[in-house]
Amino acid sequence: MLTIDLVGAEVLHPDGLSAAPLSLSEGVIADTSVGRTVDLSGFRVLPGIVDVHGDGFERHVAPRRGAMKQMGEGLRAVEAELAANGITTGVLAQFVSWEGGLRSLEFADQVFGALKDIRGEVVTDLRPQLRIEISLIDLYADLPARVADWGVEYVVFNDHLPHDRLAEGRKPPRLTGQALKAGRNPETHFEMLLELHANVGNARDLLGPLCATLSEAGVRLGSHDDATATGRSIWAARGADIAEFPETQEAAETARDAGHHVVLGAPNLVRGGSHKGNVSALDLVTMGLCDALASDYHYPSPRRAALMLAHSGLMDLAEAWALVSSGPAAVLGLTDRGDLAPGKRADIVVLDSADRVAATIAGGRVSFMSGDIAERFVAAA
């Protein structure tokens, strides 16, 4: 672990930028100088990014269907991308769905098993999240035991079945492609969807006891893609106090009124709107209806989104950066990170004058470093 004083840089604290040195020792922010300095003049030092939900790792663990057999190597490649984007805590959101394939129970078991195997070998704090379709009621009985075995501390529920079409007995769009990806005959796939649709009422009845069991085990619960105030309230009653990517303003307002966390997608903000036509993340941020910005499917976006908010003047840098650091840390209940106060984990990202990531340090260990800044650290060794 690094034992250094970072001097000459602008350091971001909750009350703004400071020119005071920042010291690292024993993996945490130290409250006194440690005596060995690295000159970071021309750079800015900010809290490491806490990514509360990201599924961009899929392209690393399965770049081609059936081609990737070494799951651990894929996850190491994920860590490299996270670190290069200033992410020091990364929640890997693995989906279990009727879609099968990369979103099957079997694939999830492989991902979570590999993650357990490599967590002690990587620098970035990689954490598992399970996102599951509520219609898969056959999994409910064993789910708490699976979650415990996988080491999952955060479970999110959603319902992506095309109920309107299924209620009319019509095939959903792209059904054939979905079926083939899942290794199913299209007609068999369609019959399965019809059956899941017919049983969704049973699923909703069983969710209360399931959520209670998970909550009692200390698992954090969230809902995904809430579209209505009523739907969000139902999830709140089940103990799911995190609203991930609400699709409407009313759903986000309902979560906020209940004192619950709202997580929005950073790519939505960066691109200027939802690619699915949902409510704009920028609008919700402007209304104060956001606690955390997540990478969703694009790891560079949290940094870019926070800087866009600061450059636009909508927020100052400390407020904007909190949406990717202390805000998501609070969502996850991680009180040991999120800002650069003494005693907190030494999780930092160093940006150059062009706002590119020059270095990332997680828990006092270097996870990424390149260019001129690497020369400064080497010179100080």
Tell me if 316 is assigned to some domain: yes
Alpha-carbon distance 52 to 66, whole Å? 28
Question: Which pLDDT belongs to residue 100?
Answer: 87
Q: Are strands 28-30 and 44-47 parallel, antiparallel or unpaired?
A: unpaired
Confidence band (pLDDT; 50, 70, 90) for 371? confident
Confidence band (pLDDT; 50, 70, 90) for 69? low
Contact 332, 52 (CB under 8 A): yes
Q: Does residue 375 sit in the same domain as residue 246?
A: no
Confidence band (pLDDT; 50, 70, 90) for 65? low
Contact 66, 25 (CB under 8 A): no
pTM beyond cutoff 0.85: yes
Tell me if 1 is assigned to some domain: yes
> What is the tens place of the pLDDT at every residue in 165-189?
999 999 998 889 888 888 899 999 9
Q: Does residue 114 sit in the same domain as residue 237?
A: yes
Question: Which pLDDT belongs to residue 353?
Answer: 94
In this model, does residue 158 exceed pLDDT 90?
A: yes
Q: Give the chain's domain count.
A: 2
**DSSP codes joined into one string, 153-208:** -EEEEE----HHHHHTTPPPTTHHHHHHHTT--HHHHHHHHHHHHHTHHHHHHHHH
Residue 26: left if φ>0, alpha if ψ -120 to 50, beta else—which one?
left
Q: Does residue 287 sit in the same domain as residue 352?
A: no
Mean pLDDT, residues 136-152: 97
Contact 33, 23 (CB under 8 A): yes
Q: Which residue has the higher pLDDT, 276 or 91?
A: 91
Q: Does residue 248 sit in the same domain as residue 153?
A: yes
In this model, does residue 375 exceed pLDDT 70?
A: yes
Give the other-Cβ count within 10 Å of 288's Cβ: 10
Radius of gyration of the chain (CA): 22
- What's the CATH code of the domain at 34? 2.30.40.10
Sign for the CA dihedral angle at 316, 317, 319, 323 comes to positive
Mean pLDDT, residues 306-329: 97
> What is the tens place of the pLDDT at every residue in 341-365?
999 999 999 999 999 999 999 999 9
Confidence band (pLDDT; 50, 70, 90) for 59? confident
**DSSP codes joined into one string, 288-337:** T--SEEE-BT-TTHHHHHHHHHHHHTSS-HHHHHHTTTHHHHHHTT-TT-
Alpha-carbon distance 186 to 171, whole Å? 10
Q: If we measure between CA atoms, which residue out of 86, 126, 81, 7 comes closest to residue 304?
A: 86
**By mean pLDDT, which of 38-47, 96-105, 257-266 is the weakest?**
96-105
36: domain range?
1-48+338-381
Q: Does residue 224 sit in the same domain as residue 294?
A: yes
